[in-house]
Structure formats: C-alpha cells, structure tokens
Amino acid sequence: MATTDPNPDSVLVQPAQAQQVLTLLDRDHSILAFNERVLDWAYRTDVPLLERLRYLCIVSSNLDEFFEVRAEPHLLANQRQDDKGTYTIASFGRLAHAAHTLVARQYALFNDDLIPTLEKKGIRIISHGDRSNVQRQWVKQYFHREVQPLLIPVVLDPSHPFPQVANKSLNFIVRLSGPDAFGRQNEVAIVKVPRVLPRMIQMPAKVAGGPHSFVSLSSVIRAHLADLFPGRQVGQFSQFRVTRHSDLAVDEEDVKNLRTALRQGLQHRHFGQAVRLEVSAGCSDFLSDFLLRQFDLPHFALYRVPGPVNLVRLTQLVDLVRAPELCFPVYKPCPPTQLTPGMSFFDRLKQGEVLIHQPFESFGGVLDFLREAVHDPQVLAIKQTIYRTGSDSELMDLLREAVRSGKEVTVVVELKARFDEEANINWAEALESIGAQVLYGVVGLKTHAKMMLITRREGRQLKRYAHLSTGNYNPRTARLYTDWSHLTADAALTADIEHVFVHLASHSRLPRMNRLWLAPFQLHRKLVASINELGLAAISGTSTRIVAKMNALTDEALIHALIRAGQKGVKIDLIVRGACMLPAQVAGQTDNIRVRSVIGRFLEHSRVFYFRNGDAEALYLSSADWMNRNMMRRVELAWQVTDPRQRQRVVDESLVAYLQDDIDAWEMGPDGAYTRLQAKGKRRAHGAQGALMARYGGMKGA
C-alpha cells in the first residue's frame, strides 16, 4: 500500500487533563503530505492518462501557493513564530528536504512514466535533439515570427542592472563570452519571457508526422539563444523561475479606503520577496549562485529540476489534445432532485427546505433561484456575500440586473479573498457604479460566510427566503468541488441571516441567534462545548459519536477538546482532506480517534459536523474549517439541519459514504503517515464519489 509521511516536527503541547505530553503534527509537513496524496493520482494506472498529467500539474500549482503563502520572508531566516512554535534551523531543514523530495518525485514520474506513456499514445513533446530537419526549420521560423519580436535580452552592466523578474515568470540566464559591441566583457544576460506566449506549441501534423506533437516554448528559445546575441558566444545557460511571497499585507486599521489600498498592493504582488528559485537541472554553479545572490536566497531555496521549470503550464497540453478516451468520462450534474421542474422556488420552499449536493446535482439550481428572484416583481431586496465568484460570473450579472430593475441590492464583497482580490475589486466597483450597496465586511476579518437573503412581499407581509452554502458562489468550481447548498424559508434561520447582514453593515451587536453559529463570536465556543458535552456523556456510559468532515484541522483548542473527548470514550471519526495536526490512533492518547483523507476526482470541500448523544443527533453544515483563522479572524457560519430526512441524507452522502470508501481514502497511522486503503477479501471496493456519481446518474460516455 502507498503511504505518505508528513515527517512531523516535535511541537510539544499539554492538552488539558491529558496524562502525557502529546506531540501534535506539524502543519506545513501535513500540507506537503496532502500533496503527496494528490500526486498519488498521477501514479495511478486506473486513472486516464491525461488526467494523471492534470494531477501532476495540480500538485505543482499547490506547491506554488504553498511557497507564496507559507514560506514567509522571515521564515527563510528561521525566525518564524506562529501557533505551532518557532522553527529551528534543523526543523526548517527537514521541511525543505520534504519539499525537495516531493518535487523530485514529480519530475521522476513525469520523465520516467508519463512522457513515455504519452508517446505510446502518439502524444509527443519533441525536444530539440529529437527534431528532424523539417521540424527544426519549422521551429526556427516560428521563433523568428512569433517569439523573437517579443524578447528583449538584457546584458548586465552598471547601466543595465538585474531586471525586475515577476513572480512565477519564465526567464533565461545566459553566460556570454567575447566582447560586446563596445569591446567590454560583460558576461551575464537575462531574457524575460512574456506571459502572452503559449508554453506548449502544437506542431502542424504534416510537419510532426502526427496530430499530437508539441514543442515547449522553453526548448524553442533555448535552441535559438545565439540568435539573441549576435557577435557573442553563448556558453552556459539555464531557464529559471522565481516564486515570491504573495500574501497581501494591508494594515486595515491604518487605511482610509481598503479597496484603494488593496488595488495599490496588487501592483506590487508580483514583485514580493523571493522565497524559491527553480533552475534547470544542468544549470552551472556559477549561474545558480549568481541568481541566489540576486534574489538573496539561501541554498536550500534552490530547486534543480530535470524538465520544465513550471509544470503547471502543462495543463495547456491537456487542453490541446483531443482524446476523450484519455480523460475522465464527462460528468453532467443532474438537476437538483428536491426541486420540482416548473414550480416556483418560493412555492417549493413553503413546503420545506431543499438541499443540493454539488457537483452531483447542478449549481444551476442556485442560479435559477436568484434568477427567479431578480425577475419577480414581488421581490424587494436581495442581500448576498461574495468571496470567490470568478471574473466572468453569471451570478454577478444577475445581481447587476436586479439593481437595474429597481430592487434593493446589498452585496458584501470580501476584497481580501486570496488571489481573487482583483476580480472582487472589479465586481465591487461595477456594482457600486450602478447603485448597489457594496460593503466590505468587518475591519480585520475576512467575510467567508456564504449566504443569500431574498425579501419578498406576500400580501401584507414580508417573507424571507435564503440560500446558505459550504462553498463559493462560483459556477466553475461548483462543477469541481463537493459542497452543500441549502435553500430555506425557515423563519428563525432567515431572521438569523438578516441579523448577520445588519451586523456586517452597521457593526451593531448581534441579538441572540436561533439557528446560526457565527464566527468569531459563537462558533468556536459552541463547537468546543458540543465536544465537551459528549465527553461528559461518555463518562456516564452514554453512547456518543462525533463525525466531522472538513478541509483542515489545525486549531489547537479544538484538537485538545477532541483528544479529551476521545479519552473519555467518545468515538470520533475525522474526514480531513488536507492538513491535520491531530495524530490519530496513538496508544493511550487518541485510541478512539480515526483520521482519514479522501482525495477524489472532485475536490472535497463540504464541511459537515455530526454529534450524537445517545439517541439525540445534531448535524451542522458550515463554511468554516477547524482552523484558528476561521474561528477567530473570519466571519463564518455553521447552521443546523433540523429536518430528520434532510439530516439523514447528509449523513449518508457526506459521512457514511466516505467512511466506507476504500478506493480514494487514506488513513492516518499513529506516526502521522497516511496509508491508502484497499478493499479486503472479496468485498467489492467502494468509492464515495463514484457511488454518488452513479446515484445521480450524470455520467456521460462511461
């Protein structure tokens, strides 16, 4: 069985009432271990070939974000302080070793497995050394026609200092010999490659001898570097790519206009402090040392890679190859099963609440709900939170249409949604320009809650209808992420949502909430109290159970509460997709706690929390992971699903199905390492996502 090892550093904590000191797992190592599990999909021969390549690219994209966000500048100086403690030189060295090991596995898989297997299917990336004379002539013409006019080689000297190199951009460094036009011996040159150029170039079939032959942009430039330096001799050279710290830091207490401050900050994001340097495997020490000095990086930040310095761009190849048999069968979400075609949403919600399980059921149901509200003359007001909706969003177009039709539209836009700041700023300005009331939440907190509130006149009364979700209002990711959407007309729940919108607008004190737990106020406290209550019940002999599904578990107070509850006899199953700092199955400490991670075709994103005390059951859906930032530095929601039928549906589809998974599931051992589960004996293997796709019948071409 495959395993991934988070290689935890020792972070000694003393959980309250525990008899022994328990070592929690390191968060950063746990993130890298998650990416090892994602990389396993690229190794799996039961996965279509182009999807294997896509998973390889996903890992590279994840690593980019890991370095951009987690490798903060002061971390490189081994002085980082956070909720886990201080990194020492030795512990950070182990983290760097783990990252290097993961990158080495990626390129070994790419070169030794994926490339040969692609070639067997007629898909070739032809290097310069393997090109025929006809192919070389075509590449030369392409270079001079499409590439060279956009390149400006810069030879370094006192009047030409090292240029600004953007975050994650492709560049070349070249060592020249011979004098320049003025007789001087300046030997180092930099060639910046514009991002507008495609990284994978498809050759014509008549030139390549087949329909699926490609050349990489880096190999095209590499083959013609000499053409950029007439009269000079090109010696050593290498492609390189620098990753920079990219988490925007804005002192919200010290700015008058957050939107303006963030837009100004975005101008500098691509040029933050360097944290990683990637070069070709054959790069000389002279050139790599030169670059390390330029970017002020230690040697462990250097990554020598035997292939493209940016594997993420290979997704272009996946998109260019027309081979459906090498991809997953197309999955088309079915219409939401709890909706009645042709029936008004408002009439349907008077009969009871509706749950939509995405992506197995279509997010289009949510858009249709908003669309009906926009076109209904009895709807007076629409309130909406926006975290990640994308730059091209039908939902945002509907909100603009609502403004133009005279409805009161209030939108809480989170400007600090990481890497979506620019899109959200643009949407905020577009909505504000036509008369929508645009809010930016609470200073110092990210508004991560996902909620929509519609107010409708019905006779002499105003009636509220709402949508809550564990995921974003983003139609694209709604096809790729597992999430729950909850439509309701429940008076108590919709009143709570109204209170939250008023609070975000006016910062007034919240009244007592009926059905919602809100961070940073009640959510953390309520979760800890629920866990502690089950611990007390277990001591008295009551049968108790906790099953929680989330993306990450790193909040130490919640971890300690779970450990205490488990030691008192509560049976606990945690389904944690990514980082988890709680070590499971440690003898005498966490025997009653099991941790599993499910990595599937779709990204697991729903947050579901189940508590059972004897015969009493409580189930919550939430926008929040169990991380300190979600509990203390964000506006988050958790809400109870009270209808027994709806509650059982969530339990069956998001908890039971995943606890039975032995295809895509990994289980954590006492040492923090994960082992991929396999069906035992003659029992048929069960994959939760596969079973749900089959249940909802949306597979095409299978």
Give residue 96's pLDDT.
Answer: 87
Are 230 and 354 in the same domain?
A: no
CATH label of the domain that carries residue 278: 3.30.1840.10
Asked if residue 62 has pLDDT above 70, the reply is: yes
The answer to the question of residue 613 being in a domain is yes
Q: Judge if 558 and 674 occupy the same domain.
A: yes
pLDDT at 14 over 90: no
pLDDT band at residue 83 using 50, 70 and 90 as cut-offs: very low
Residues 539 and 631 in one domain: yes
**Do 632 and 543 reside in the same domain of the chain?**
yes
Residue percentage of the chain with pLDDT more than 90: 71
If DSSP codes are grouped into helix, strand and coil, which group holds residue 259?
helix
DSSP of 394-421: HHHHHHHHHHHTT-EEEEEE-TT-TT-H
Beta-strand (E) ranges in 564-702? 571-576, 593-598, 603-604, 607-613, 616-622, 634-640, 665-668, 674-676
Residue 630: what pLDDT?
A: 94
542 lies in the same domain as 443: no
Residues 556 and 469 in one domain: no
- As a 3-state breakdown, the chain gives helix, strand, coil percent values, each rounded to 5, of 40, 25, 35
Partners of residue 389 on adjacent β-strands:
none
Cis bond before residue 520 (omega within 30° of 0)? yes
Are residues 539 and 430 both part of a single domain? no
pLDDT at 570 over 80: yes
Is 448 an annotated catalytic residue? yes
Of 35, 447, 438, which Cα lies nearest the Cα of 259? Answer: 438
Predicted confidence (pLDDT) per residue in 421-457, tens digit:
666 677 777 787 887 888 876 777 888 899 999 999 9
Amino acid at 432: E
**The pLDDT value given to residue 72:** 62
Q: Are residues 562 and 689 in the same domain?
A: yes
List 576's β-bridge partners, or say none: 550
Q: Is the pLDDT of residue 81 over 50?
A: no
CATH number at residue 554: 3.30.870.10
Domain-embedded: residue 159: yes
- Residue 652 is given by DSSP the state I
Q: Assess if residue 338 is contained within a domain.
A: no
Q: How many CB atoms are located within 10 Å of the residue 666 CB?
A: 24
Q: How many CB atoms lie within 10 A of CB 162?
A: 15
Task: Look at residue 205 and tell me if it is in a domain.
Answer: yes
For 90, other C-beta atoms within 10 Å of its C-beta total: 9
CB 252 within 8 A of CB 260: no
Q: Is the pLDDT of residue 80 over 60?
A: no
Instruction: Tell me if 194 is assigned to some domain.
Output: yes
Task: Please pick, among 29, 212, 245, 448, the residue that the annotation labels catalytic.
Answer: 448
Secondary structure of 143-193 as H, E, C letters = HHHHHHHHCCCEECECCECCCCCCCCCCEEEEEEECCCCCCCCCCEEEEEC
Q: Are the CB atoms for 657 and 691 separated by under 8 Å?
A: yes
In a domain, residue 448? The reply is: yes
| 316 φψ region: left (φ > 0), alpha (ψ -120 to 50), beta (else) | alpha
Q: What is the pLDDT of residues 603-626, one digit of tens each?
A: 999 999 999 999 999 999 999 999
For residues 412 and 504, the answer to whether their CB atoms sit within 8 Å is yes
Looking at the structure, do residues 351 and 479 belong to the same domain, yes or no? yes
Domains: count for the chain? 3
Q: Are residues 174 and 198 in the same domain?
A: yes
Is 65 inside any structural domain?
no
Q: pLDDT (tens digit, 9 = 90+) per residue, 373-429?
A: 999 999 999 999 987 776 667 888 899 899 999 999 998 887 654 555 666 677 777
Work out the average pLDDT over 132-161: 93
CA dist., res. 691 & res. 320, Å (int): 30
Say which residues have a Cβ less than 8 Å from residue 611's Cβ, sequence separation at least 6. 530, 531, 534, 545, 546, 617, 618, 619
| DSSP class per residue in 81-141 | EETTEEPPHHHHHHHHHHHHHHHHHHHHHIIIIIHHHHHHTT-EE--GGG--HHHHHHHHH
Question: Over the stretch 527-563, which tens digit does the pLDDT of each residue have?
Answer: 999 999 999 999 999 999 999 999 999 999 999 999 9
> Model-level pTM?
0.90
Work out whether the CA dihedral 453, 455, 458, 463 comes out positive or negative: positive
Closest CA to 386 of 504, 281, 263: 504
DSSP 320-387: H---GGGSPPPB-PBPPTTS-TTS-HHHHHHH--EEEEETTB-THHHHHHHHHHHH-TTEEEEEEEES
Domain presence at residue 69: no
At which of 512, 533, 568 does a domain end? 512
The whole-angstrom distance between residue 633's C-alpha and the CA centroid of its chain comes to 19
Each residue's pLDDT tens digit, 322-377: 899 999 999 999 999 999 999 999 999 999 999 999 999 999 999 999 999 999 99
Residue 458's pLDDT band, with cuts at 50, 70 and 90, is: very high
pLDDT at 267: 55
Same domain, 353 and 500: yes
Q: Of the residues 454, 481, 512, which one is the last residue of a structural domain?
A: 512
Task: Identify whether residues 409 and 471 lie together within a single domain.
Answer: yes
Alpha helices, DSSP H, located in 441-587:
491-506, 523-539, 556-567
What b/e string do you get for 542-558 counting C-beta neighbours within 10 Å, with b at 16 or more? bebbbbbbbbbbbbbbb
User: What's the burial of 599, exposed, middle or buried (CB within 10 Å: 0-12/13-18/19+)?
Assistant: buried
Output DSSP code: residue 444: T
Q: How much is the pLDDT for 246?
A: 72
Burial of 325 (0-12, 13-18, 19+ CB in 10 A): exposed
Q: How many CA atoms lie within 13 A of 26 on its CB side?
A: 21
Structure tokens at 325: 């048999």
Report residue 253's pLDDT band, with 50, 70 and 90 as the boundaries: very low
- Indicate the residue type of 642: T
Rounded to whole angstroms, the Cα distance separating 278 from 292 reads: 10
Q: Which of 470, 495, 512 is at the close of a domain?
A: 512
The pLDDT of residue 447 is 86
Distance, CA of 185 to chain centre = 47
Span 95-99, average pLDDT: 90
Domain extent at residue 366: 345-512
Average pLDDT, the chain: 88
